[in-house]
Structure 1
Amino acid sequence: MLKKTLKFGLAFTFLTLTYFGDTWAQQGKDNNQKDFSEFMDRKGNVYRTASGKPGEAYWQNAADYQMEVSLDEANHVLSGKVTITYTNNSPESLEFIWLQLEQNRFTPDSRGTLTTPVQGNRYNGDVDGGYDITNVAAKVGAKGSISSRHLIEDTRMQVWFAEPIPAKGGKATVSMDFSFKVPQKGMDRMGRLKVKDGWIYAFAQWYPKVAVFDEIEGWNVEPYLGAGEFYLEYGNFDYKVTVPYNHIVVGSGKLMNPNEVLSKELQNRYSKASQSEETVYLISPEEIKNTALTRPKQEGMITWHFRIQNARDVAFATSDSFIWDAARINLPSGKTALAQSVYPMESNGEGAWTRSTEYSKASIEHYSNMWYEFPYETATNVAAEIGGMEYPGLNFCHYNSKGASLWGVTDHEFGHNWFPMIVGNNERRYAWMDEGFNTFINHYSSNEFNNGEYPSTLNETRRFNGYFTNENREGIDNYPDVTDTRNLGMVAYMKPAIGLIMLREYILGHERFDNAFRSYINTWAYKHPQPADFFNHMENVAGENLSWFWKGWFYGNGNIDLGISSVQPYGGNYLVNLVNKGDFPMPVLLEFSYEDNSTERVKLPVEIWQRGDAWSHLHKTGKKVTGVVIDPDKVIPDINLGNDSWPVEIYK
């Protein structure tokens, strides 16, 4: 009896191991756990938590600026003085600080000039400029010894102190005089434009500014080359701009001395516009040269004074050739701000810049209501020879833009007030965290504006499949300065935006996504998030492990290809056989069509792909199925349309 039992047991064990061994071997062969595993170190620490929030020891430094500059219009030179008050909140003392000198990009031997392709690109710039810097003075505290020791290397400047800036709140001041020739071609970000009535000056990257010191890199000192934009500390700005009496100046922040720079008539119009839902002319097309009506002085120079708080940068524009109009912005809290536009006669017209303030007001109000309230006193759109560039509360957009083009660039540049002006990511390294996020919020703003007058280009994500299947495509995680400029629009703008659209519309749904995204903005407002902070925060608030998605879409270069291999009757119901031929998993949203012309949707979770690339779903129904389609709303850019439906001929 013992022998017989033992023999039977051994036989059963052999059969079991043989059968299940083959099964486990097969599962091991097709196991997709690598797709669901973590792809980067996202563990929390005292500085940044695993839930995607600033930790208890999080810190960032601050820089406040006082500036006075004057424009020499005859020679196109801006000159003045900057005083920077720097606060070292880091846990270590600092013997020096690094500053960015971005005007030094406009020299023949700058790194940016020498790395520009022979055929040129969008980021070409003049090469007869650069800073002239004198009278450098740096000291720690109110009574510290003054040091003039400094080093200038390309677009960076190192300033040394006589003694270190103390950690955890130590303060220092750095001052210097500076001047530069204003480039006519300023890398599509700043410069000057000759119009019929005079010059338009668009000033950005116009003052020496402190680089970011953080716990990730220490000093962030990547040079200013071209595509890479900016990474800046937050602070308060107080700046004065002296220009010829007949100029109008608009700048980031609040105009502090309207009584000194505007005529009584213009002050009245300014006040009227600040209370008006409709656009009000401050200077009409017929009044461009009527200085007696609009300016308080008729000779000499005049100084405009601006102030903005808790900002990372400032820009301004000045000209004697501006049409100027404005209207009130209504904010969710009950506060108001001012939308205003300045543009030359060449840009005038209902199909063009005459609608700029309408666009600006709508854009700011939309983002304030949907995501986070606009924090600045003014939102200014400036017409210049610049495709589109953003600064806190102020844009430069091309003076020839009209209609849908003008809406698109205005809305996009104002959207940047949320990314990276409020949420201060590192643009020079992670362009997708501002350009991509901004393009995402533009999608909803465009669809809402004026009942869809200018619908979003991202309503049809599959129109970009030509790029996704191109062998020369690049990944989102490429740094902008090393990305092929032909791919930059997809790498930094479209692909990350499509990723967020998929998250909101297909993976998480509106409520979970919006809760997480709004929380991310609120949590990191006026701070410096890293990619891991975004990933962690979205996962924790939405309640979903999305490693498979971040890895596949944001840190991979593969594509989506979900398919239906067959649909067959099964015990009075239907068996839907699915395949994942793509490079990473996705949930599967199925829409069933029935003989009675009704439809039903079923969503299968992403976990169906954890054990392999094939899955069979039993669909229970008492109706006759006439068709099945994956992703009926065409939200995801699936690269193979041929296997998305059954029968295939119904959904060509």
Structure 2
Amino acid sequence: MKLFSRTAVVLMLICTFGYSSYGQEVKENNQSNFDEFMDRSGNRFRSASGEPGEKYWQNETDYEIKVTLDDETHNISGNVVLTYTNNSPQDLDFIWMHLEQNRFTPDSRGTLTTPISGNRYNGDVDGGYKISNLEAKVKRSTSSHYIVNDTRMQVFFEKPIRANGGTATISMDFEYNIPVKGMDRMGRLDVKDGTIYAMAQWYPRAAVYDDVDGWNIEPYLGAGEFYLDYGNYDYEITAPYDHIVVGSGELQNPRQVLSSTMRDRMERASKSDSTVFIVKPNEVNDLSIRAKKEGMLTWHFKMENTRDIAFASSKAFIWDAAKINLPGGNTAMAQSVYPEESAGNDAWGRSTEYTKASIEHYSNMWYEYPYPVAVNVAAAVGGMEYPGVSFCGWQAEGESLWGVTDHEFGHNWFPMIVGSNERRYAWMDEGFNTFINHYSTKNFNNGEYASSLDQTRRMVGWFTSSTREGINTYPDATNLKNLGMTAYYKPAIGLLLLREYILGHERFDNAFRSYIETWAYKHPQPADFFNHMENVAGENLSWFWKGWFYGTGNIDIALEDVQEEDGNYIIELSNKGDIPMPVELKLTFENGSTENLRLPVEIWQRGDTWSHLLETEKTLNKVELDPDKIIPDINFSNDVWPKNIYNN
């Protein structure tokens, strides 16, 4: 670097200090809005680029499960064997497991924290696990010591599971009564032709031990959902002979559980882009097409590299299917099961069409679907997702059925493929999913249904509400009236702003696809998402993460005035809100021509007002902020000049 001369230094000091002594005081800038708001520095486990570090690890959970479903007592019983691989750098003397059926007891924390008036997460109180014959083995040592506390179980070993690849097996027998009301996530539904069992959180599951918090052992209360490790599942469901059983993963024994008629139809469906019946509406009670006429049948499924499994069983199921076309040349199978009450071309008769369209869209736009089936189940559940299986309301139809089907299958990307901690960070699965639902809906059938994110300004009433909460509010502590916004819509709007307004399609899509691919089957934290998006998109977005995701402030960019000066124009802007944003202006001239003008977010780094000189030979008639109405600006009245021209 060239050295300054003594004369140059003196002149610089005179200019700096001499001017300030006679001029106005230096105005305080807004740099604090642009500074880092949380520790996002890298370490050996998680890099500052938002990628797993060189020492990143996560543990593996592989399950073998065999259960029997009794449709007379509404009971499930069986055995689970968990093979636990400890890839962490610490020896483990115990592991924690989730016993989420214990939520359905009178004295569970979830029951005792449910308001008297009730809420969506009401549940039965006559359930809960009965655990027996537990054995925890490490090498040649065996322990039967465990402690159950609410929805958690601590299993101890005689010898620790060694770090960096040591394994243990935990086996136990379990049973419980299947609830009718399963917190709108699972349960039973009685219909004309039988009972529909939607089975989720149905076996003892290992909790996550990670590099950020150690054991993640938050109790199962209600709004907070799940955080699980990945592994391979081999499971068998023994059910009455007249039941149809569908589940996560691939059916291993179709010749034992499906008649030749059903197998032929399944084969035809696997090659068909239109829906094919496996069990027709008039065949629900026709035992001639069933594989067996009495007793019990065992349905065997396998699923690899997944964080969970779910299944459904009923003798009331109509069953149909179609082929899913995947971009890599592979195919999968969309399936739907539903009772007669749900049938019809305006209702569940289109479920498989919806499922197929949803999976194909997300596979083409973001990341290829990895599972062999996608099964939609009509159940007494408003909408709930599990890997390869969704439970949706049996009375849903038309736009409502599309919306819930598309949303629940979108969850296969968040959090099933990208395994975030949804019990703590609901916005990393619900919000991201609501965002991708927007484009899926606009794409489906040439826009047959509308997306709620097309009209973000209709949500301004919530943004200005005194009872609003931040996106980062813990889900189980969030006011349920706010949960739809904090977990779903506000984070989705945040991503919409990034793609449509701040970064643009190409930069956003590159970063978001890279985030999905980088963290597929892994456990990203919020900082990992922020860091990865910034590094791939090439943009410091701290001002946006801080204002939108970790605050309750609002956007209010104002077009204060336009002054003509020497044949040009000075456009006066101000930031009256709490969150800075780039400024998009549409300029309309007297001759009818228009131009777009974009000012970067850094104009607000210097203060809350900005003047822009527009040099033009044309006469300016109108200036409009955010002409495409993408930003949920809380004050529309200051978005246009002249003031007497008001476009909402």
With the length of structure 2 as denominator, give the TM-score of the two structures: 0.97
User: Can you list the C-alpha shifts for 1:428-455, whole angstroms capped at 9, x where unaligned?
Assistant: 0000000000000000000110010012
- Cα RMSD for the two superposed structures: 1.5
1:468 has 2:466 as partner: no
How much has 1:649 moved relative to structure 2? 2.4
Report the Cα offset of residue 509 of structure 1: 0.2
Q: Who is 2:252 aligned against?
A: 256
Q: Which runs of 4+ in 1 moved over 4 A?
A: 10-16, 21-24
The equivalent residue for 2:85 is: 87
Amino acid at match of 1:239: Y
Deviations 1:309-347 (A, max 9, x none): 000000000000001000000000000000000000110
Query: What does 1:331-346 align with in structure 2 at a 5 Å threshold?
Result: 331-346=326-341
Select 1:96's aligned residue among 94, 97, 103: 94
Residue by residue over 1:182-217, the C-alpha shift from the partner in whole angstroms, topping out at 9 and shown as x without a partner, is: 000000000000001110000000000000000111
Residue 599 of structure 1, CA deviation: 1.1
Paired residue type of 2:640: S
The separation in 2 between residues aligned to 1:288 and 1:569, in whole angstroms, is 77
Q: TM-score, normalised by structure 1?
A: 0.97
- 2:387 & 2:327 partners in 1: Cα distance? 19
Would you say 1:497 and 2:515 are equivalent positions? no
DSSP 3-state at the match of 2:312? strand
CA 1:266/1:11 → structure 2, altered by over 3 Å: closer, same or farther? Answer: closer
Q: Give the Cα–Cα distance (whole angstroms) in 2 for the partners of residues 110 and 622 of structure 1.
A: 73
Q: Within 1, Cα distance between the matches of 2:353 and 2:593?
A: 43
Among 215, 228, 252, the residue aligned to 1:219: 215
Cα distance change of structure 1 residues 236 and 12 upon mapping to structure 2, 3 Å threshold: closer
Residue equivalent to 1:20: 20
What does the per-residue CA deviation read over 1:264-316, in whole Å, with 9 as the maximum and x for residues that have no partner? 000000000010000001111111111212x1110000000000000000000
Quote the residue 2:240 is aligned against.
244
SS in 1 for 2:125: coil
Deviation of 1:650 after TM superposition, in Å, equals 1.9
Task: Give the match for residue 534 of structure 1.
Answer: 529
Aligned residues: 639
Question: Secondary structure of 2:160's partner?
Answer: strand
Partner in structure 2 of residue 3 of structure 1: none
Structure-2 residue corresponding to 1:354: 349
- Report the alpha carbon displacement of residue 15 of structure 1 after superposing the two structures with TM: 9.4
Q: 1:399 aligns with which of 384, 394, 400?
A: 394
| Shift of residue 573, structure 1, vs aligned partner | 1.4
- Provide the identity percentage: 66
Using the TM superposition, give the Cα deviation of residue 610 of structure 1 relative to its aligned residue in structure 2, in angstroms.
0.6
Q: Which of residues 428, 431, 434 in structure 2 aligns to 1:433?
A: 428
Q: Deviations over 1:410-429 (max 9, x none)?
A: 00000000000000000000
1:72 aligned to 2:74?
no
**What does residue 553 of structure 2 align with?**
558
Aligned residue identity for 2:439 = Y
Distance 1:165 1:11 in 2: 70
2:639 aligned with 1:644, yes or no? yes
Q: 2:32 aligns with which of 17, 27, 34?
A: 34
Equivalent in the alignment of 2:128: 130
Q: Name the structure 2 match of 1:320.
A: 315
1:175-574 counterparts in 2 under 5 A? Answer: 175-293=171-289, 295-574=290-569
Q: 1:289 to 1:611 in 2, by over 3 A?
A: same
Q: 1:4 — aligned with what?
A: none
Query: How far 1:25 moved relative to its partner?
Result: 2.9
- Runs (5+) with no aligned partner, structure 2: 1-9
Which of 106, 109, 112 aligns to 1:111? It is 109
Does the alignment pair 1:53 with 2:51? yes
How far apart, CA to CA, are the structure 1 residues paired with 2:14 and 2:391? 76
Measure the CA separation in 1 of the matches of 2:412 and 2:622. Answer: 46
Aligned to 2:3: none
Distance 1:22 1:446, change over 3 A: farther
For residues 132 and 19 of structure 1, do their structure 2 counterparts lie closer, same or farther at Cα, with a shift above 3 Å needed? same
Amino acid at match of 1:194: D
Distance 1:620 1:649 in 2: 24
Q: Which runs of 5+ in 1 are unaligned?
A: 1-9
Cα pair distance change 1:265/1:610, threshold 3 Å: same
Structure 1 CA distance, aligned partners of 2:15 and 2:157?
Answer: 79
Q: CA, structure 1 residues 282+24, in 2 after alignment: closer, same or farther (shift >3 Å)? A: farther
Partner Cα separation in structure 1 for residue 15 and residue 621 of structure 2: 43
What secondary structure is seen at the aligned counterpart in 1 of 2:539? coil
User: What one-letter code is carried by the residue in structure 2 that aligns with 1:85?
Assistant: T
Equivalent-residue separation in structure 2 for 1:23 and 1:299 (angstroms): 96
Name which of 139, 149, 155 aligns with 2:151: 155
